[in-house]
Amino acid sequence: MNYYKFIFVFSLVIVCLSCTTPNVFEGEHKFIEHFPQTLFPVAEKLVVDMPGIVNLAIVDTVLLAVIMPDPEILLQSYSLNNYKQMGTLIKKGKGPDEFLQASMPIQFVEDATNCYAWMWDHSLRCFYLLNITKTIKYQRTIIEQRYDLKNLGFSSHLVYVNDTLFWGTNWTFDNLELFAYNVKKEEIIYQTKLFKPTRNPSNNISAFSHSVTVKPDLSKIVINMLYLNQLHVISLNNTNDRFSFSTSKNPGNIEQIIYTNADDDLILYYRDVRATDQFIFAIYNECTRKYEENPTKTIIHVFDWYGNPIAIIDLPYYSSYFAIDEKGGYLYGLSEDVLLEQEIFYKYDISKLLSN
């Protein structure tokens, strides 16, 4: 009788385990076992004078750099032709064309004559369309559109769709939410929780720290949660069309994040993401933060927007930030020479990958 009882209990455990999934997001989850190719691009070293850079982006032939801790400059521009300064794009202040706080632009627009960036000032609760071309030309900040969103409350990221509709994300006490905001009505018209219900709700901000990267055609976004080993893609045309994917069979553990007091004991996994209409590029690491002081190289995973693995890019030098120059066919990585106390750019030719 004990034997049959053991079999019953064992079978029940197996069934329960088979019904659970390590995926913490709502929607389908994909496990990626291998990448079809690994690229080892050669580094071209560029010593440049760009003090205080804390993030990078590229639009057209302009390199954008968020500057810290300069008390006046928030966003600087450099030429991709000679890596020289082209002008300050945003200064800190309370004037009509000034910011108190500037986040790295995640969304760019180009027309026949100008390129633009959507900028979010968390402190002023304003969303701006910055004309990059005219700002550089006239050496003064030129804002084409401005939205005062003080009534929206806290939101982590915003995506401009049209003059009526924005998409955004924010975290609540126990979840991460995606919402649609009607600017003309000044109200949220749709919202959905992205995490599956958890038995351990938490106000630990580390559990919901994330960034959003936009597909340039505005049809999708990809969310990378810091400390969760997976990426989540959502269609903005149909939010039920969503899925997550990971190269690990254990892609997420919310409880571990909730009950870990020190962020240094956690792993960032996908800590920075860039996107083209064709691919998602994500820096990947498996070291806890306290052991990241002396990294020797950078691994970037490349996926398409359906979560299919495309390639691993194995860079010979560590990059704290990176950007994709889609028109030129290059990947730029930013590092620092501690001994010389200067920033170093590494330029990698990935034109064959981008032309696929």
* CATH fold for domain 22-354: Neuraminidase (2.120.10)
Q: What is the mean pLDDT of the chain?
A: 81
**pLDDT at site 202:** 59
CA geometry: angle 138, 142, 147, nearest 5 deg: 180
Mean pLDDT of 236-265: 76
- Encoded tokens for 125: 């609760």
Instruction: Summarize pLDDT for 125-174 with one digit per residue, the tens.
Output: 888 999 999 999 999 999 999 998 887 877 778 899 999 999 999 887 77
Specify the DSSP element, H or E, that contains 7: helix 2-19
What ranges make up the beta strands (E) of 262-354?
A: 267-275, 279-288, 298-304, 309-315, 321-325, 330-337, 342-349
Other Cβ atoms closer than 10 A to 200: 12
- Report how far apart, in Å, the C-alpha atoms of 157 and of each of 104, 265, 314 are: 11, 26, 30
Q: How confident is the model at residue 94 (pLDDT cuts 50, 70, 90)?
A: confident
Residue 331 reports pLDDT greater than 70: yes
Q: How many CB atoms lie within 10 A of CB 153?
A: 9
Domain positions in the chain are 22-354
Q: Which two tokens stand for residue 199?
A: 């038995």
Instruction: Tell me the per-residue pLDDT of 108-131, one tens digit each, with 9 for 90 and over.
Output: 888 889 999 998 887 788 889 999
pTM of the model: 0.86
List all residues 6 or more positions away from 98 whose beta carbon is below 8 Å from its beta carbon: 90, 91, 92, 141
Q: Is the pLDDT of residue 19 over 70?
A: no
227-to-50, 194, 205, 304, 320 alpha-carbon distances in Å: 29, 16, 11, 22, 17
Which tokens go with 232? Answer: 């989540």
